[in-house]
């Protein structure tokens, strides 16, 4: 039996726009039994909008989980009809609010399964180094600052006076401790398609460039950037519409001082992630805002997925029966060799921002929002699985389950099974709430939440489910290991929960460790210890904390040690697991963060960011021992730490000068 959580959280009110784009207001400030009434939204037409906005989820199978077939479009006209159907059904809120959704929803997720570190030594010219934190062993990931043990590569964009920005520059540095120096800098060119065009849907030039990521495979450097241009004058609603594409450049760096461009490609949509496995590159992008308000069937470039100047074939475009919103997600694969070649490309209609990749499969995930008109009880999530097959991307299975994912750590492949953790928000309607004090007829509200764990077999059929875990709590962190899953929740009791997966047919909760504050990132380390990085729950005096949990007995969890970092209020670890440095061989962890410090400004009424980076050693003998606390250049948007040879390099994103780095002896 699954253990139920205790306590009750008051219902959470949401207006129509918030419900539409799936934003969950986590503040719960309502007193018990006296619920705040939401502002009324104009009458029946809005309810009609909300009713037709989202396709009804076909609930079936066991406990709301079901699999269905993967359907492809028969023609480009079918895509056009889908998007025009949104407009014809008065689905205007999603169109108007797409910019807000873009601003509030991120690209790469913050968590995954057994995040690995890599200690490597390739040849005599390469020093022993620890690479960036990775989601899965053997699956490479890109970042804006990387190393191959021989050089440090940085992707930096310099802002201009008009705030549009110039194309990013690549900086290559030779890491030699205090003698580190830059050996090469070059600017990315203006990308063009194979036919020589810029790829814009109008004759306008690219107006904005955004840094994305770098990756090195053998002697090939891969560089990704985001490009933004105006979509054209035929847009309506008096709003600026952007044509967004991701450019990827491939360079031969066998002669590091004279990189040679092998080719570049343009792919529709904003950058999400780059992954690599066995010499195949996987590029994932999202087109967040297909401009349906001015769509004409003849203008296929507006709605047909597009890659490097060519429309994708219909048999590579997936249109799920429950597709939602004016968006699509594209995955393309490329063979990393001197004559870089495309292997395949797939598109799924919808916003599949969740990406999880193993040595065998690529998983895309999205949230399917409940249909209020049909009084559906909860949101659901769809997982779409592609078998890698050397980059061919064979789509073979898809499954839908109740709830949504806190982050990508909530999905984990184990042999021929898939472990999943979701948070389910249960909605109540008028017939459920008659007689409740403060209830206003015609409004939906949140009645309660629960956390659920699932196991699916290789066919993505559900084997078992454990529900009612930490009822009325929000998921803050997940880590799914071989036979045990760990979940950190937050609202009332803030527990660390251990879930037994050893018998996939009968999941059970083993223990709930109550603790102050919560961890937003979990990482298994040696000696049956679980490392947690998170925050205190004091909103008036919040600080980052690091903790070691003893998991030697999963039925009796306890805090082994914890440290409060007083001069760090926020950390990028919350949203980017690559920001964590893990040296498993030497039991060292590092990460950056920031606090507000008035001393950096002349005006005492204002505050400025103070960026710091900390290193800790962890063990059962010494518990958590601070190694160093280093101040990093003010104004940076985060930091990355890397060990190369006998030196440790702390590098702020967006700053390529060696003088901006912190370089200290390691060990």
- Out of 77-81, 184-188, 340-344, 427-431, which region has the weakest mean confidence (pLDDT)? 427-431
Q: Region 320-344: what's the mean pLDDT?
A: 94
93 pLDDT exceeds 60?
no
* pLDDT for residue 159: 60
* pLDDT for residue 97: 39
Q: Region 249-260: what's the mean pLDDT?
A: 97
Burial class (CB in 10 A: 0-12, 13-18, 19+), 542: middle
- Out of 11-20, 188-197, 313-322, 348-357, which region has the weakest mean confidence (pLDDT)? 11-20
* pLDDT for residue 53: 37
Per DSSP, 437 falls in state T
Cα separations (Å) of 572 from 119, 481, 522, 534? 23, 24, 14, 10
36 pLDDT exceeds 60?
no
Enter the pTM of the model.
Answer: 0.84
Three-state helix/strand/coil letters over 294-319: HCCCCCHHHCCCEECCEECCHHHEEC
The helix (run of H) or strand (run of E) holding residue 516 is none
Q: How far is CA 182 from the centre of its chain?
A: 32
CA dihedral defined by 263, 268, 272, 278, rounded to 10 degrees?
A: -40
* pLDDT for residue 131: 76
pLDDT in tens, 493-521: 568 999 999 999 999 999 999 888 888 99
Question: Hey, what are 359's tokens?
Answer: 């040595």
Q: Give the dihedral sign, CA 211/212/216/220.
A: negative
23 pLDDT exceeds 50?
no
Q: Find where tokens 């814009």 sit.
A: 200
| Spatial distance between the Cα atoms of 483 and 498, rounded to a whole number of angstroms | 10
| pLDDT tier, 149 (very low <50, low <70, confident <90, very high otherwise) | very high
- Out of 4-18, 156-170, 634-648, which region has the weakest mean confidence (pLDDT)? 4-18
| pLDDT tier, 157 (very low <50, low <70, confident <90, very high otherwise) | confident
* pLDDT for residue 634: 67
Residues in the chain: 667
Question: Hey, what are 541's tokens?
Answer: 């005096």
Contact (Cβ atoms closer than 8 angstroms) between residue 594 and residue 609: yes
30 pLDDT exceeds 70?
no
Cα separations (Å) of 15 from 10, 74, 89, 276, 445? 16, 37, 20, 41, 10
Q: What are phi and psi of 580, to 5 degrees?
A: -95, 130
* pLDDT for residue 32: 26
Question: Hey, what are 186's tokens?
Answer: 């070059």
| Spatial distance between the Cα atoms of 191 and 11, rounded to a whole number of angstroms | 50
* pLDDT for residue 103: 33
| pLDDT tier, 540 (very low <50, low <70, confident <90, very high otherwise) | low
- Out of 9-18, 108-117, 627-636, which region has the weakest mean confidence (pLDDT)? 9-18
Question: Hey, what are 499's tokens?
Answer: 């879930």
Q: Give the dihedral sign, CA 464/319/333/213.
A: negative
| Spatial distance between the Cα atoms of 504 and 561, rounded to a whole number of angstroms | 32
CA angle 92–312–288, rounded 5-degree value? 30
HSE on the CB side for 14, CA within 13 Å? 23
Cα separations (Å) of 48 from 44, 67, 426, 570? 6, 29, 21, 41
pLDDT in tens, 392-409: 999 889 999 999 998 889
| Spatial distance between the Cα atoms of 285 and 298, rounded to a whole number of angstroms | 24
Q: Which of 634, 442, 608, 436 has the alpha carbon at shortest distance from 8?
A: 436
DSSP 180-233: -EEEEEEEPPPP--TTS----SSSPPP-EEEEEEEEEETTEEEEEEEEEEE--T
* In the chain, % of residues over pLDDT 70: 73
| Spatial distance between the Cα atoms of 212 and 224, rounded to a whole number of angstroms | 5
Instruction: State the greatest distance between any 2 C-alpha atoms of the chain, in Å, as a whole number.
Output: 76
| pLDDT tier, 132 (very low <50, low <70, confident <90, very high otherwise) | confident
Contact (Cβ atoms closer than 8 angstroms) between residue 324 and residue 55: yes
pLDDT in tens, 97-112: 343 333 333 344 443 3
| Spatial distance between the Cα atoms of 259 and 279, rounded to a whole number of angstroms | 19
Per DSSP, 136 falls in state B
* pLDDT for residue 375: 81
Q: Region 252-271: what's the mean pLDDT?
A: 95
Average pLDDT of the residues of the chain: 79
542 pLDDT exceeds 90?
no
4 pLDDT exceeds 60?
no
33 pLDDT exceeds 70?
no
48 pLDDT exceeds 90?
no
Task: Reduce the DSSP state of residue 580 to 3 states and report it.
Answer: coil
Q: How far is CA 102 from the centre of its chain?
A: 13
Q: Which residue has the higher pLDDT, 607 or 86?
A: 86
20 pLDDT exceeds 50?
no
| Spatial distance between the Cα atoms of 110 and 422, rounded to a whole number of angstroms | 15
- Out of 57-61, 156-160, 266-270, 412-416, which region has the weakest mean confidence (pLDDT)? 57-61
pLDDT in tens, 612-633: 999 999 999 989 999 999 998 7
Q: Give the dihedral sign, CA 421/423/429/435.
A: positive
pLDDT in tens, 561-616: 999 998 898 898 888 899 999 999 999 999 999 887 666 555 554 456 788 999 99
pLDDT in tens, 425-478: 888 887 666 656 555 555 667 788 899 999 999 999 999 999 999 888 888 899
Beta bridge partners, 152, equal 147, 173
Beta bridge partners, 227, equal 209, 245
Contact (Cβ atoms closer than 8 angstroms) between residue 651 and residue 642: yes
| pLDDT tier, 122 (very low <50, low <70, confident <90, very high otherwise) | very low
Burial class (CB in 10 A: 0-12, 13-18, 19+), 608: middle
* pLDDT for residue 431: 66
* pLDDT for residue 327: 92
Q: Find where tokens 């219902």 sit.
A: 11
N-to-C CA span, the chain: 48
* Residue 5: other Cβ atoms inside 10 A: 24
Task: Reduce the DSSP state of residue 599 to 3 states and report it.
Answer: helix
Q: Find where tokens 């999400």 sit.
A: 272
- Out of 240-254, 260-274, 552-566, 643-657, which region has the weakest mean confidence (pLDDT)? 240-254
Cα separations (Å) of 272 from 141, 287, 329? 12, 10, 9
């Amino acid at each position: 039996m699954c253990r139920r959580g205790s306590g009750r959280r008051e219902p959470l009110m949401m207006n129509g726009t918030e419900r539409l784009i799936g934003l969950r207001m986590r503040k719960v400030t309502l007193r018990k039994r006296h619920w705040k009434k939401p502002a009324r939204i104009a009458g029946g037409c809005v309810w009609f909008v909300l009713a037709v906005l989202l396709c009804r989820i076909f609930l079936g199978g066991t406990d709301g989980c079901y699999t269905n077939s993967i359907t492809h479009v028969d023609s480009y006209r079918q895509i056009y009809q889908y998007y025009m159907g949104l407009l014809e059904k008065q689905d205007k809120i999603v169109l108007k609010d797409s910019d807000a959704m873009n601003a509030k929803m991120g690209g790469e997720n913050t968590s995954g399964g057994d995040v690995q570190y890599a200690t490597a030594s390739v040849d005599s010219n390469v020093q022993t180094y620890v690479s960036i934190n990775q989601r899965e062993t053997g699956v490479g990931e890109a970042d804006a600052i990387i190393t191959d043990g021989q050089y440090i590569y940085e992707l930096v964009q310099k802002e201009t006076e008009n705030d549009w920005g110039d194309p990013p520059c690549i900086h290559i540095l030779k890491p030699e401790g205090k003698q580190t120096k830059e050996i090469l800098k070059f600017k990315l060119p203006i990308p063009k398609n194979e036919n020589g065009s810029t790829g814009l849907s109008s004759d306008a030039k690219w107006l904005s460039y955004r840094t994305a990521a770098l990756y090195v495979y053998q002697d090939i450097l891969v560089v990704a950037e985001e490009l933004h241009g105006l979509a054209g004058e035929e847009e309506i609603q008096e709003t600026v519409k952007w044509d967004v594409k991701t450019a990827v450049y491939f360079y031969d760096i066998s002669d590091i001082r004279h990189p040679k461009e092998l080719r570049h490609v343009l792919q529709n949509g904003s950058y999400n992630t780059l992954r690599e496995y066995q010499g195949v590159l996987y590029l994932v992008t999202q087109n967040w805002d297909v401009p349906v308000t001015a769509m004409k069937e003849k203008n296929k470039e507006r709605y047909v997925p597009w890659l490097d100047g060519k429309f994708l074939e219909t048999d590579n475009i997936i249109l799920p029966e429950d597709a939602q919103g004016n968006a699509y997600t594209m995955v393309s694969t490329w063979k990393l060799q001197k004559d870089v070649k495309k292997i395949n490309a797939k598109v799924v209609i919808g916003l599949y921002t969740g990406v999880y990749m193993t040595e065998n499969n690529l998983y895309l995930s999205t949230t399917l929002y409940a249909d209020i008109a049909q009084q559906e009880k909860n949101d659901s999530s769809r997982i779409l699985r592609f078998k890698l097959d050397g980059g061919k991307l064979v789509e073979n299975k898809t499954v839908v389950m109740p709830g949504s994912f806190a982050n990508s750590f909530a999905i984990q492949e184990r042999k021929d099974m898939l472990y999943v953790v979701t948070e389910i928000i249960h909605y109540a309607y008028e017939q459920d709430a008659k007689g409740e004090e403060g209830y206003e007829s015609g409004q939906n509200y949140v009645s309660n939440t629960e956390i659920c764990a699932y196991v699916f077999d290789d066919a993505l059929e559900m084997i078992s489910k454990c529900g009612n875990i930490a009822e009325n709590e929000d998921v803050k962190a997940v880590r799914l290991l071989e036979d045990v899953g760990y979940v950190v929740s937050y609202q009332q009791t803030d527990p660390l929960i251990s879930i037994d997966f050893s018998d996939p047919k009968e999941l059970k909760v083993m223990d709930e460790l109550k603790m102050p504050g919560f961890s937003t990132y979990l990482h298994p380390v040696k000696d049956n210890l679980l490392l947690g990085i998170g925050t205190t729950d004091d909103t008036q005096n919040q600080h980052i904390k690091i903790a070691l949990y003893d998991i030697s007995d999963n039925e009796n969890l306890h805090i082994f040690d914890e440290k409060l970092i007083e001069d760090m209020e926020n950390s990028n670890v919350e949203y980017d697991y690559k920001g964590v440095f893990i040296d498993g061989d030497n039991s060292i962890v590092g990460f950056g963060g920031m606090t507000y410090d008035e001393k950096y400004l002349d005006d005492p009424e204002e505050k400025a960011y103070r960026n710091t980076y900390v290193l800790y050693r962890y063990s059962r003998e010494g518990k958590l021992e601070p190694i160093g606390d280093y101040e990093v250049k003010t104004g940076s948007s985060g930091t990355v730490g890397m060990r190369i040879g006998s030196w440790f390099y702390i590098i702020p994103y967006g700053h390529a000068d060696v003088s901006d780095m912190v370089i200290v002896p390691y060990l």
